Amino acid sequence: MIAIDILYLVDRLEALLSKGWRVPLTSKTMIDEDEFLDIVDQMRIAIPEEIKLAKKMQQDRERVLAQTQEEAARILNLAKEDSARLVNDHAVVRAAQQRALEVEQQAQTEATAIRAGADQYATQVLTEIQSRLEQIAQQVAGLQTQVYNGVNYISEQRGAVEVPSNIDQNVS
């Protein structure tokens, strides 16, 4: 849901740019500064939500790993209990020990597979989130550059107009 919110805000920025006024004989576009800054403020709120989502996914991964370890321990304890009950008979003891070993090996194999899957899933999700955040940052930087260039162009055309203090004038 949060990814949709950020993508929606990026779409709004693109729509704002497309409905902006082209400056004749330049590649510049003038846009509504208040609307642009409103969208940027909303993005500043939404991006930390993406980070919270990534942290939640990490916590989910750790929870799955803990559950896997608990399940492996439970299976191992069951196997030990089974073998302890069968101690009276030597043949049964050997069979129980073999079964306990098999159960332990199976539990270890399953735990390893689950951990690997959880690690792979978490890595994939975090990589996707990082990629999305980088794209958004690039788009915002590009839009800030366009706004700054537009404000400079207007100030050159109309005389000295003060550049709003919340626009980074060092953007190239």
Q: Domain limits of the chain? A: 2-158
DSSP string, 138-172: HHHHHHHHHHHHHHHHHHHHHS--PPPTTS-TT--
> Are 9 and 50 contacting, i.e. CB atoms less than 8 angstroms apart?
no
Question: pLDDT digits over 103-129, tens only?
Answer: 999 999 998 999 998 889 889 988 988
Run of H or E residues at 29: strand 29-30
Per-residue pLDDT averaged across 91-109, rounded?
87
d(CA 106, CA 5) in angstroms, rounded, equals 44
pLDDT on residue 1: 44
Residue type, 122: A
Given a cut of 60, whether residue 161 has pLDDT beyond it is no
Q: Which token pair is 131? A: 């990629």
Residue 17 binned pLDDT confidence (cut-offs 50, 70, 90): very high
Residue 50 binned pLDDT confidence (cut-offs 50, 70, 90): confident
Given a cut of 60, whether residue 94 has pLDDT beyond it is yes
Task: Give 52-57 contacts, CB < 8 A, sequence gap 24+.
Answer: 53/2, 53/3, 53/129, 54/125, 54/126, 54/129, 57/122, 57/125, 57/126
